[in-house]
Amino acid sequence: MVSRRTAKLIVVGVIVAGTLVAESKREYRFSVGPKAGVSVMNPYGSISVKPSVNNTVVVNAFLHSDKVEVDKNQNGNRVDIQSHLLAGADADSGRVDYEVLVPADASITLHSNTGSLRAEKLHGDVSLEGPGAMVDVRDISDAHVHVKTMNGAVNLDNIQNGHVEVDSLSGDVTLNGVTGPLVQVVSTSGRINYIGDFGSSGEYRLTSHSGDIEATIPEWTSADVSARSVRGEVHDDIPLQPKNHTWFPLDKGRAFAGTMGRVAVSSTVVLRTFSGKIHLRKRSEKQ
Amino acid sequence: MNCVELQQSLAEVEDGNSVEQRVHLRACAACSALVKELNQIVAAASQLQAAEEPSPRVWNSIEIALRREGLIRPPRAAWSPIPSFAARWGVARWLVPLAAVLLLAVGIYVRRESLPNQLARQASVTVPVANASDLNDDDLMQEVADNSPEMKTQYAENLRQVNESIRDAQGVVDESPNDEDARRSLMDAYQQKSMLFEMAMDRPLP
């Protein structure tokens, strides 16, 4: 049987532990109007943004130590959140993980050196940047999506009518169901993988230096496709109507160009790499 | 008037309206297209509604840029124990604008090189700043070591890769000055390097 003294100690311990846990989490709420702007600058740690149910911005911050604090500022329709590193903070002790709810039409700007950056189910502009951040953006419509990373992997899923620009040095970039007037990816050594139908009447530019580029598209895609690897090789599983004129030499195995589907509604697709491989694949019906 | 003279004169005479400009523009499709683009940009800019509220991102970017330049102070600057931006960055704070200027120079150069009249006359291609791939790399790595030591290895590897990509593309451009894709690869490589610098210096404000 537990003595009365032990029971007291347990109760006190639970209370203290609960207090510590509570201290590591902060919640902030801001009322905003339509098309608000929300930025979160976080040197270390993840940031996840989801839609809120009303015109409220809710910021849940999980602080990993007392060597970091959260600066918050609201100026009209704009909310700025910033992790403030105190003396002695490093990547571990300075870490803050954010879970943020914003109105779906809000524009967001997220920055983190490490950790993951996630945004989903929004239709405001999305700008994500972080050298080592893994980026995951999904279910975004009618918005600009701008991503900059150094070596973090980038995954964009179901972006409709987007103005998409991704710059990555060595991180792999995967676009699944991404369409819009402009979809542009530039990478140095990361792989670029596009899965989708290239929408209609958009401009799709996938460019790498040494990374491979693979586009997997359904047979019914309408697109004007040009592909060239200056020093690598290209493969084309889909028969294209050849073009009479291209701005580059159509060296066999290093370039191809042609149209597929209905020309009137076709998108312009440019796949270009310096030394990587390009592969235009036909998506099977099971995929 | 040739293509180069026309482009130089555009900065001095508006809209390509001098007699010499008009004569050249009638004969040169490339320059005609360039002037048309410039006019479209001017026309679009004049149609911007002054009363329209810019995106919050614009204000945010402006504020961040002003803070970086030291033109406005962050709220905690008055009592923060951390030294000022200029003191912490020293000469290295000019690396980003320097890289931007470099990119601009390369962009103008490549644009000019792509004009058909000039292509015919060019025997070889060199980037204006021949040693650009070595642009302050040591300074960059020192900044990373000081401020993001946990990412030093990653920055070093990416810097190596992007310098290699510049050398690769430069080699092909030297061999085949008229290869448009090789030129674009070179431009992209410089842009990627510029982005690396930008990220290395894009640290949170005190």
Q: Which residues of B touch A (CB under 8 A)?
A: 55-57, 59-60, 75-76, 81, 148, 150-151, 154-155, 157-158, 161-162, 165, 168-169, 172, 179-182, 184-185, 188-189, 191-192, 195-196, 199-200, 202-206
Under an 8 A CB cutoff, do B189 and A150 touch? no
**Which residues of chain A neighbour B172 with C-beta distances below 8 Å?**
230-231, 274
Max mean pLDDT among A157-161, A248-252, B4-8, B188-192 falls in: A157-161
A236 in Cβ contact with A280 (< 8 Å)? yes
Q: How many contacts, defined by CB atoms under 8 Å, are there between A and B?
A: 125
B154 in Cβ contact with B120 (< 8 Å)? no
**Which residues of chain B neighbour A85 with C-beta distances below 8 Å?**
204
Cα dihedral value B103, B108, B109, B114, nearest 10: 130
Local structure of residue A249 (DSSP, 8 states): -
Calculate mean pLDDT across residues A160-168.
Answer: 96
Q: Which residues contact A35 (CB under 8 A, 6 or more apart)?
A: A77, A105, A106, A107, A124, B56
Encode burial over B90-117: b for 16+ CB neighbours within 10 A, e otherwise.
eebbebbebbeebbeebeebbeebebee
pTM exceeds cut of 0.80: no
- In tens, the pLDDT along B29-53 reads 777 877 877 877 777 666 655 545 5
Q: Which of A86, A103, A66, A81 lies closest to A27 in space, CA to CA?
A: A81
pLDDT of residue B108: 63
Distance in angstroms (rounded) separating the CA atoms of residues A171 and B197: 17
User: Mean pLDDT in chain A?
Assistant: 89
Q: Which of B84, B74, B93 lies closest to A80 in space, CA to CA?
A: B74
**Which residues of chain B neighbour A256 with C-beta distances below 8 Å?**
none
Q: How confident is the model at residue B69 (pLDDT cuts 50, 70, 90)?
A: low
Q: What angle do CA B81, B87, B92 make, to 5 degrees?
A: 135
Encode burial over A20-47: b for 16+ CB neighbours within 10 A, e otherwise.
eeeeeebeeebebeeebbbbbbbbbbbb
- In tens, the pLDDT along A80-98 reads 999 999 998 888 999 999 9
Domain ranges of chain B: 3-46, 91-201
Q: Which of B151, B185, B204 sits opposite A83 (nearest CB)?
A: B204
- In tens, the pLDDT along B117-176 reads 444 334 334 443 434 444 578 888 888 888 888 888 999 999 999 999 999 899 989 988
Under an 8 A CB cutoff, do B192 and A188 touch? yes
Give the orientation angle of helix B3-10 with respect to helix B29-46, to 10 degrees.
Answer: 20
A213-217 vs A234-236, strand pairing mode: unpaired
What number is the ipTM of this complex? 0.81
Q: Which of A80, A167, A188 sits opposite B161 (nearest CB)?
A: A188
Distance in angstroms (rounded) separating the CA atoms of residues A247 and A216: 24
B147 in Cβ contact with B141 (< 8 Å)? no
pLDDT of residue A4: 67
Which chain A residue's Cα is nearest to B199? A131
Under an 8 A CB cutoff, do A248 and B180 touch? yes
A203-208 vs A234-236, strand pairing mode: unpaired
- pLDDT exceeds 80 at position B204: no
Under an 8 A CB cutoff, do B200 and A131 touch? yes
- In tens, the pLDDT along A38-60 reads 999 999 999 999 999 889 999 99
**Which residues of chain A neighbour B202 with C-beta distances below 8 Å?**
111, 129
Residue B20 C-alpha, separation from nearest chain A C-alpha, in angstroms: 30
Under an 8 A CB cutoff, do A150 and B56 touch? no
Residue B199 C-alpha, separation from nearest chain A C-alpha, in angstroms: 6
Task: State the residue for tokens 């700043």.
Answer: B129
- In tens, the pLDDT along A188-219 reads 999 999 999 999 889 999 999 999 999 999 98
